[in-house]
Amino acid sequence: MSVKWIITDLDGCVSPEESVPWALEPFVEFARQSRAASAGESDLAPLTLCTGRPQPYAEVLMKILDIRAPAICENGAVLYSLHDNRARFGPGVTPENHPELDRLVGYAIRYFDDFVKPSKVFRAPDAAEAEALGALSDKLGTLPVGADGDAIQNAALDVARGIERYQDHSKKSPEGGPGVSVAFFQMIYQVLIGQERGPRFGSFVALYGIAETRALIGRALAGELAG
């Protein structure tokens, strides 16, 4: 049977696993072969991605490699297609209309409970962080039901831009003010999901739910997450 697609992770496959400079020469050759495969100019199957990386990171690589098929990103939460710049979710999927998927999700939940959850380390927010999380919850509450990941991400960035601790003066906001430090989202991951890194915040909230995220923030502020 012929191979129709090659689906690959990014870290440790396309890019280095460690935070080191990329070897440019082999990557340029890799990109050349990927672009030729996508254009049907070689015997290789075309490439697409399955990565936990955020959508913008995957988008850049898709442009460089000329990946034309949809890619999975955001820790599996998003199916992104470059040609129409759309990120898709599956709100119509239910246990009733996808029983096999429901069975597999049960395995995933047990794996999470046995191997992932024990490694999580939640921490309580300090006073400034608690104020920032409260402002974030209030901002999320102003968004319409069904707001997409980009709208949610922009709302979070708007909150962070107004807090001196999270301003990054080496970056510029669309209005010309300071950008947002990665410390803002690191704080969110540490306090809300008990880990140092996480998916793109807007995509996570779009999938998890705005009301559910606000409830999670409320639990963190009430001291219910940090043990």
CA 44/CA 102 separation, integer angstroms? 35
The predicted pLDDT at position 164 comes to: 95
The predicted pLDDT at position 145 comes to: 84
The predicted pLDDT at position 175 comes to: 85
Q: For the segment 171-224, what is each residue's pLDDT rounded down to a tens digit?
A: 888 888 889 999 999 999 999 999 988 878 988 898 788 999 999 999 999 999
Q: Which CATH number fits domain 6-88: 3.40.50.2000, 3.40.50.150, 3.40.50.1000, 3.60.15.10?
A: 3.40.50.1000
First to last CA, the chain: 53
The amino acid sitting at 173 is S
When mean pLDDT is compared across 104-113, 155-164, 218-227, the lowest value belongs to 104-113
Backbone angles phi, psi at 68, to 5 degrees: -105, -15
Helix (H) or strand (E) holding 153: helix 149-161
Q: For the segment 143-158, what is each residue's pLDDT rounded down to a tens digit?
A: 998 888 889 999 999 9
User: Has residue 63 got a pLDDT over 80?
Assistant: yes
- pTM, two decimals, is 0.62
Domain boundaries defined on the chain? 6-88, 127-221
> Is the separation of the CB atoms in 180 and 167 below 8 Å?
yes
Mean pLDDT across the chain: 90
Taking residues 8-31, what's their average pLDDT? 86
3-class DSSP state of 100: helix
Confidence of residue 91 (pLDDT cuts 50, 70, 90): low
Helix (H) or strand (E) holding 39: none
Helix (H) or strand (E) holding 62: helix 55-65
Taking residues 167-174, what's their average pLDDT? 88
Taking residues 104-124, what's their average pLDDT? 90
